Amino acid sequence: MKPILSFPLFALLLMGATQASAVDYLLPPPGSRLIGQNQTWLVPANSQSLEKIAERYQTGVLLLLEANNTVDPYLPMPGSELTIPSQMLLPDTPREGIVVNLAELRLYYYPPGENRVEVYPIGIGLTGRETPVMTTRIIQKIPNPTWTPTAAMRARSQAQGITLPAVIPAGPNNPLGRFALRLQQGGGEYLIHGTNARSSIGLRASSGCIRMRAADIKALFTQVAWGTRVQIINEPVKYSTEPDGRRYVEVHQPLSRSDADNPQTMPVAINAAFGQFIDDAGTDAVAVDNALTRRAGYPVQVDAHSTTPAPVTTIQSVKAAVMPSGGETLSEAAEPTAGRVTIQ
C-alpha cells in the first residue's frame, strides 16, 4: 500500500524531490474528473530557469509557460510568484493503460487494479513530424536500446552539417535513453522512450516518438506489461461537470500545424458536446470564453454564479524556507525515500 500524503506534506516533498519519478493522484469518485490542486512558488534570489523548475515539480516547460504567461521563459524574476499547474482534469477516455494527450504534453498511466493514476510530462513530435493520434498497444519492452537513425534523419542532419553514425550503442549518450516501449501501430515505428536531451521534456522536440525523463521512463517501464493499451489523443480542451455541480474548463494551446501558427491565438475547435456544455444554463459562457482566450493549461471554474477561485497552495522556495531542527536544509530534510508521491 502506497502512503497517502496530505497536500502540505506533498508540497514539502516536491521542494526536495528534484529527481522524483512520478506524481500519483488518487482517482476521483465516480462522475468526477478533477484531480490535484494548483500550487504557487516564490522564485528565490538565485533564480532558476523554467526548465529546472519544471523538472523539480514534475511538469513541463510549456505547461509552466501556459500557467505563467507573463514570466521570462529563460530566467524568472526573483520574488515573482509562479503557478505550478498540478491540478487537472483527467482526459475523457477509458481509465486503462497509458493515455497520452498531445495538446497538454502529459502521459497518464492507470496501474491495473489500483485506485490511482500516475502523471508524467513528455516531449512529442516537432511540427511536420507530429506524433500521431492512435489507439494501440505495447508490443515490445527494450532495455538498453541502441539507436539507428533513419535515412531521413541522417539526411536532415547532413543538411545541417551534422553526420550521424549508422548506429549509436546503448549508454548515457543514446537518444533513446535506457528504456524504450515499442508501439504496435505504424509497424513499430513509434516508441515511448527516455532521452539524453533533458531540456526537451515538455516541448515539441522529437521526430514523432514520445520522450520521457530518465527516472520517469524507468518507473513506467518497470510497471507496464506487453499488450498494455495505449491511447494517444489531441484534445486542447477538457471540461467536466463535477458531482457537486461545479463546472470546469481546462484549455491548452492547440498544437501548431506550421511555423507560422501562433498557438495562443489559433482557433480552438468546439464540438457539439462542448457547445452544449457552454450553452447549458449552469455554465457561465463568458467565463468559458475567457478561459478559451487565456489558455492557462489548468482547470478554471465556469459554473454560473460561481465566485469561488480555484484553491492554491503557496510554496516557499527551498532557499528561503526555515531551517528544520538539526541544521539540515529543507531540501535535505524533505528528500523522499521513494521516487513517487501520492496526493489526495
Catalytic residue among 33, 193, 211, 295: 193
Q: Considering only CA atoms, which of 86, 105, 104, 82 is closest in space to residue 236?
A: 104
209 catalytically annotated: yes
Catalytic residue among 67, 183, 209, 251: 209
| 246 CB burial (10 A radius; 0-12, 13-18, 19+) | middle
- Whether the Cβ atoms of residue 221 and residue 27 lie closer than 8 Å to each other: no
CA-to-CA distance for 130 and 318, rounded, in angstroms? Answer: 38
| 299 CB burial (10 A radius; 0-12, 13-18, 19+) | buried
320 catalytically annotated: no
- Whether the Cβ atoms of residue 295 and residue 66 lie closer than 8 Å to each other: yes
The CA distances from residue 143 to 79, 111, 165, in Å, are 43, 20, 21
CA-to-CA distance for 334 and 12, rounded, in angstroms? Answer: 6
Annotated catalytic residues are: 193, 209
